[in-house]
Amino acid sequence: MTEISTRVAIVTGGSGGIGRAVAERLASDGLAVVVHYSGNQAKAQATVEAITAAGGRASAFGGDVADPEAMAALFQHATDTFGGVDVIAHTAGIMPLAPIAEMDLDTFDRIQRTNVRGTFIISQLAARQVRSGGAVITFSTSVTRLQMPTYGAYAASKGAVEAMTLILARELRGRDITVNTVAPGPTATPLFFEGKSEQVVNHIASLNPMERLGTPADIAEVTAFLAGPGRWVNGQVLYTNGGAA
């Protein structure tokens, strides 16, 4: 067990990409981190090992974010292992892409189940268990403003995430808990590169004034700000995209 004063973070989807960068960044600020994973235990364990090798504290725990019993067990694991929950960074999500006219409804339902229902379950547990002085950080996407073709179902799910998050911030009045959404732009992760040609990637990278893709570290830095010193930022969507929109 750690000292009671230790702040504790749960990072969903912490096994790779943005989630891993967030987990490592929060650990570098001294938080104990529970690295959640859905299907890849080995990658989650690699994140834990990277954190512990750097002198931090971390533990891995698996489960479906849309399963309330599995996520209740995740929160209980954080409490049993590190003493409580102070920060939620809910990076977990899926992003199948297709034009609205072509997407099958089973895929649409799977997106909403993971991204909307999953966020609702995590938010509900956070509202009940995050300690005073804590932070709840969900993840949306800048595509809600960019209106890029093939992203319809995904953007719809993230619009719901933004709505829930901003309402939760108001519902937690008097609790000293901030609730915000980070909305990354195109970010250099395996998920982003999947199925895209070099020409397409270069075009997308050119759309913002910085003329590059974001990196997981860029997103992790904003998340760490909201988890730590950014106490006067509450009920906001932070578009983290290099100025793309």
239 included as an active-site residue: no
Q: Which tokens hold the place of 99? A: 């034009």
d(CA 137, CA 149): 27
26, HSE (Cβ side, Cα atoms, 13 Å): 34
What Å distances lie between residue 222 and 1, 102, 131, 164, 237, CA to CA? 29, 35, 21, 20, 12
Helix 152-171 and helix 118-129: axis angle, to 10°? Answer: 20
Q: Which of 37, 151, 154, 239 is catalytic?
A: 154
d(CA 172, CA 177): 7
Closest among 6, 3, 2 to 26, alpha carbons compared = 6
| Residues assigned a catalytic role | 154
